[in-house]
Amino acid sequence: MRSGSELISKINDLQDKKKYQELSWEGSLEDYLDIVAVNPKVTRNAFQRMYDMIVTYGSEEFYEYKKKITRHNFFNDPIENGKDSVYGIDLHLMKLVRVFKSAAMGYGTEKRITLLHGPVGSAKSTIARMLKKGLIHYSKTPEGALYTFSWNIENSEGKEEIFASPMNEDPLSLIPIDVRGQILDEINANLPEDMKYKVGVHAELCPASRFIFNDLMKKYSGDWTKVIKHVKVKRLIMSEEDRIGIGTFQPKDEKNQDSTELTGDINYRKIAEYGSDSDPRAFNFDGEFNIANRGMIEFIEILKLDVAFLYDLLGASQERKIKPKKFAQTDIDEVILGHTNEPEYKKLQNNEFMEALRDRTIKIDVPYITKLKDEIKIYERDFNSEKLKKKHIAPHTIEVAAMWAVLTRLEQPKKANLTLLQKMKLYNGQSVTGFTEDNVKELRKEAIREGMQGISPRYIQDKISNALVSELEEDYINPFMIMSELESGLKNHSLINNEEEKSRYRELLAVVREEYENIIKSEVQRAISADEDGISQLSSNYIDNVKAYTLKEKIKNKYTGHDEEPDERLMRSIEEKIDIPDNRKEDFRREIMNYIGALAVEGKKFSYSTNARLQKALELKLFEDRKDSIKLTSLVSNAMDEKTQEQIDIVKNRLIKNYGYTDASATDILNYVASIFARGDTK
């Protein structure tokens, strides 16, 4: 291990001193105006900066149910390598970004409160955290640079004092109002053609800065050039921890709510120094609205605010002004983002006294995920091999938990011939016989509240955690352990008081259990039939017969050398494995031959593995032919000879190699599937 001095030296070498100097830049107002001339984007307002921050990470477009959706890469959390990635709600995130874009262009949404609305655990807080994190990181980049200033003045004792702008104000607000328009017009006239925003002053000086400015103007008889010599411009780096540009407010209980937490309060210690509580220098402009100026303020559970706070919120949203105690209305320039859950939002809708707030709110729904593959991503981020060094998660464990979570959020389909499980598969992009993409679009439209209720991801995470730290001696967890945890936890679930709902959730667990049994039966069947030579030979034999059948030819028997009719029994024994009825066999066979022909035109060679349906049929046929010889059911009776043991070990090794099982979990799966086969259930 390195010595202390070596570690100190290493830390010093790793420090980016040049970067620190860039972020600590200081200069005069003249220097700042030079920066504005070169990079006018430093003067953007809060919404313009927010929107540009998001789009700087790029985006990709895709079609879902024939609707074009933009996926913004920012929500993959590139800042922290996916730590706060938001999955499966791209449409809703696109709507949120559109609100920011509209506000950035000045189309009116900048005068609204953006409200994230959804059930508990639906990523509302994560989205807010991502936006705050993004602004903080963006402010440290050359593209996201912004500036503020401080005053160098004499205090009451005649000593020099640095008075930092308490509201992170833009230095452009120091330009006198009577000449400001002319100066800004001149700056804007020289803007580059690709500059989409005009340079402007988005907020006037706060009371403290205005007081100092007016005092200095009086001192120098209106000589502004002397006033600005007291100004030092500096780079502004946003920080939630230091309460710079990022504000967060969480309501306390109703009796302890105090509106000064939002707009600042009198500093009683300074009154003695400045002689009056109406002197702005004796006021702490450190409320959440104050310190969030030029950035963003997040309201946690915004609708739990006391009415006194709502008045501040109304002015802050529509007029972009706040009213500190004993001072005039003060301009703010910040993104106001709140989030709330379903019950609180219903209260807002039913409260006629909150009509003004509803009118100033843009609601963005943040529902639960309804796509299985996206739900799985949430749990794989937290429970993976990198984090779990000593515990193995058996295949499908997370998938089973995610499957149940998604099923609880879906509305029962109105189509009588469609089950809830099939609906989930359609949403997941899987094919279900008889249903098209238009059907999926129709299903989405008829279930407008889908994803706004059901089981929270937090519940699933808690139950997976419980299973991982249980006192069982196994060094792995499997789907049965998780399903047991999920079911037992329903008894004391704090958010589910309705016994009917609990009963429905238990029924859905039974659906998931049945689906899981089908999955592992299929895997064991494929492991038994995973003889590539055997499948290739069976495939070749089937294709030869299909070719002869469709061309109305005979096929030569390689053993007898005689020409014979195509082997109808062989073809049907394969086709029946994937439920091809007798009246559809000709269509299926022509489909296979057309597929082979299309590949040939492209210069590609046909392989059974390129057609998923045919591969499945061949595997099931091979399994059917071999299951008796492998005697898997002998696992149940524990009576097996050496040859059978060798064959079962081969199957087990295939499960380990091809499907990710360990020796222990593969053994358990084989035992379980063997018990199913022993009952005669091989479908």
Last residue of a domain, which of 558, 589, 615? 615
Contact 132, 298 (CB under 8 A): yes
- The pLDDT, as a whole number, for residue 213 is 96
Instruction: Indicate if 506 and 556 belong to the same structural domain.
Output: no
- The pLDDT, as a whole number, for residue 202 is 93
> Does residue 604 lie in a domain region?
yes
Instruction: Indicate if 483 and 560 belong to the same structural domain.
Output: no
Instruction: Indicate if 513 and 377 belong to the same structural domain.
Output: yes
- 370-388 average pLDDT score: 89
- The pLDDT, as a whole number, for residue 201 is 94
| Neighbouring C-alpha atoms within 13 Å toward the C-beta of 269 | 1
Instruction: Indicate if 544 and 600 belong to the same structural domain.
Output: yes
Residue range(s) defining the domain that contains residue 600 = 529-615
Q: Is residue 348 pLDDT above 80, yes or no?
A: no
Instruction: Indicate if 537 and 498 belong to the same structural domain.
Output: no
Q: CB-based contacts of 86: which residues, under 8 Å, 6+ apart?
A: 75, 77, 93, 123, 126, 127, 130
Instruction: Indicate if 505 and 535 belong to the same structural domain.
Output: no
Instruction: Indicate if 513 and 576 belong to the same structural domain.
Output: no
- 249-276 average pLDDT score: 78
Q: Is residue 85 pLDDT above 90, yes or no?
A: yes
Q: CB-based contacts of 436: which residues, under 8 Å, 6+ apart?
A: none
- Residue 265 forms beta bridges with which residues? 284
| Structure tokens that stand for 345 in this block | 């939002």
Contact 122, 367 (CB under 8 A): yes
Last residue of a domain, which of 578, 599, 615? 615
Instruction: Indicate if 513 and 482 belong to the same structural domain.
Output: yes
Residue 10: CB atoms within 10 Å: 10
Instruction: Indicate if 584 and 458 belong to the same structural domain.
Output: no
pLDDT bin (cut points 50, 70, 90) of residue 243 is very high
Instruction: Indicate if 510 and 417 belong to the same structural domain.
Output: yes
Q: What mean pLDDT value characterizes the chain?
A: 87
- The pLDDT, as a whole number, for residue 596 is 87
- 189-206 average pLDDT score: 89
Q: Is residue 446 pLDDT above 70, yes or no?
A: yes
Q: What is the pLDDT of residues 601-629, one digit of tens each?
A: 888 888 887 887 888 888 888 777 766 55
Instruction: Indicate if 421 and 545 belong to the same structural domain.
Output: no
Q: Which of 333-347, 488-502, 630-644 has the lowest mean pLDDT?
A: 630-644
SS (H, E, C) 531-576: CHHHHHHHHHHHHHHHHHHHCCCCEECCCCCCEECCCHHHHHHHHH
Domains: count for the chain: 2
| Structure tokens that stand for 289 in this block | 């609205």
- 181-190 average pLDDT score: 92
Residue 454: CB atoms within 10 Å: 24
Instruction: Indicate if 393 and 497 belong to the same structural domain.
Output: yes
φ, ψ of residue 154 in degrees (nearest 5)? -95, 140
Residue 611: CB atoms within 10 Å: 18
Q: Which residue has the tokens 């529902």?
A: 367
Calculate the alpha carbon distances from 146 to 28, 63, 229 in Å: 15, 37, 21
> Does residue 388 lie in a domain region?
yes
- The pLDDT, as a whole number, for residue 145 is 96
Q: Is residue 679 pLDDT above 70, yes or no?
A: no
Q: What is the pLDDT of residues 471-520, one digit of tens each?
A: 666 788 999 999 999 999 888 877 777 888 899 999 999 999 999 999 99
| Structure tokens that stand for 510 in this block | 């039974």
pLDDT bin (cut points 50, 70, 90) of residue 421 is very high
* Side chain identity at residue 487, one-letter code: E
